Amino acid sequence: MDQSTFQDFQPLKNIHMIMLAIVVGIMSGIGAILFRMLLDSIIKICFFDNGHIFYDSTQHLPLFNYKILIILVPVIGACIVTFLTTRFALEAKGHGVPEALYAIHYKQGKISPAVALIKVLASAVTIGTGGSAGREGPIIQIGASLGSTLGQLISMPNQQRIILVAAGAGAGIAATFGAPVTGLIFAIELMLVSVDMMSVSVVAIAVVSATFVSYYAFGTIPEFTSPIIMSNVSYQQYLIILISLIPFSFLVGIASFAFIRLMYFMEISFLNIFDNPYIRHMMGMAFVGIILYVFANYFGHYYVEGIGYSTINDIFQFLLTNPWLLLLLCLFKILATCLTLGSGGSGGIFSPSLFIGATLGAAYGIMMNYLLPGYELNPLIFVTAGMAGIVGGSTGLIVTAILLTFEITRDYTNILPIIMTVAISCVIRMKLCNETIFTLRLHKQGFFVSDILVRK
């Protein structure tokens, strides 16, 4: 694809693109609301919860009276997901972003609307029946598909269609997390082929529109609330924090690498071992069900199911303070996510990345207080740094990771540890593996998207 800077748009085309951006943003916001309603309905059906229209994702799911029944729920979900993906759209499997990147760089931004619809259904079933994945993946694909569809219905150059695809993807991120700046930067860092004033303006308008619509349904309160993390920190404490973050950042980089490689290993292994897609995904989700049963039976909650916000909320409220349990949750969230998506499930990877980083950071912060008892370091310093570090390390989106963590906590006081952790973890991950979780599978298939992103 021609990577040269786009020619300036004519004034009429500027207005035309802005109007389309508003439409894409509004529709992406509505898509996010409808997806949440569908997902929450499936959760209520599967887990017998009769609460409000939107399930409170920061609360743990109710346990079955016979806890072993949880093993069957993901397996039943696997049958439904496999039927949807094999019958209607194989591209709906996985976490969605690689497909959007492929469409941008190799298909002139053309995405079938059917893929987005099946992605929505498959992801809702995957997550709603206990699979470990994020709800941002399908909403990114909804937004990207809407932008692509409008760009195909209305005659326009490929470059303009790609801008609308990027605008839709950014709007999807913004609507999912209530994070407009993150959505804008996500599109700039990953989706836009060429960055100029007009393309950024189109994305910005779409992001604002989507966020405003999502605020109507979900409100403006951030996902996670906690006391000010870095309040009353002395200069000496700050220095100790930054020094202690160096080995932690190396650890986060290694964890990001492990996440990427295990995801790809699971995808290849399930394809090679099981020829039948139904058996393939059912086996993967049976393992996930066993993991959920073990945690429910021995620790009182499923913990690693779904998007995992209930566990992250427990960490922010200091309800999870055993470092060994936290490390166990970190390891099994990686495993459950790779089993879910690698065997044929559908969903995003941002939310699992936040979970992995939060549990790893909490375990490290608590252990640091054992080693340095006189400094009284707040473990949440490492929690938010770990969340950003895993997102940045696994996706390669440095600025997106920093801003996402800030916008979902609304706490700016921990910004230096967050920036430092993301930067070091990305460098470590790149030393171990140049590809990200978005580009490794495409690279193995002969599509070198990472090289294009580096040259952008």
Domains of the chain: 11-218 (1.10.3080.10), 235-455 (1.10.3080.10)
Rounded CA gap, 59 and 273, in Å?
37
Rounded CA gap, 229 and 358, in Å?
14
Q: In this predicted structure, what is the pLDDT of residue 53? A: 56
Rounded CA gap, 122 and 85, in Å?
7
Rounded CA gap, 190 and 15, in Å?
25
Rounded CA gap, 85 and 341, in Å?
13
Dmax (CA) for the chain in angstroms is 66
Nearest to 453 by CA among 7, 104, 21: 104
Nearest to 24 by CA among 124, 136, 123, 152: 152
pLDDT digits (tens, 9 = 90+) for 296-335: 999 999 999 999 999 999 999 999 999 999 999 999 999 9
Q: In this predicted structure, what is the pLDDT of residue 219? A: 86
By three-state DSSP, how is residue 448 classified? Answer: coil
By three-state DSSP, how is residue 413 classified? Answer: coil
pLDDT in tens, the chain (456 residues): 444 444 444 444 678 899 999 999 999 999 999 999 999 889 988 887 655 556 778 888 888 878 898 999 999 999 999 999 999 877 777 777 887 888 888 888 888 888 888 989 999 999 999 999 999 888 998 899 999 999 888 888 888 999 999 999 999 999 999 999 999 999 999 999 888 898 999 999 999 999 999 999 888 888 887 766 777 777 888 899 999 999 999 999 999 999 999 999 999 999 999 999 999 999 999 999 999 999 999 999 999 999 999 999 999 999 999 999 999 999 999 999 999 999 999 999 999 999 999 999 999 999 999 998 877 889 999 999 999 999 999 999 999 999 999 999 988 888 999 999 999 999 999 999 998 998 887 777 776 665 555 445
Q: In this predicted structure, what is the pLDDT of residue 58? A: 82
Q: In this predicted structure, what is the pLDDT of residue 7? A: 46
Provide the whole-model pTM: 0.92
Q: In this predicted structure, what is the pLDDT of residue 6? A: 44
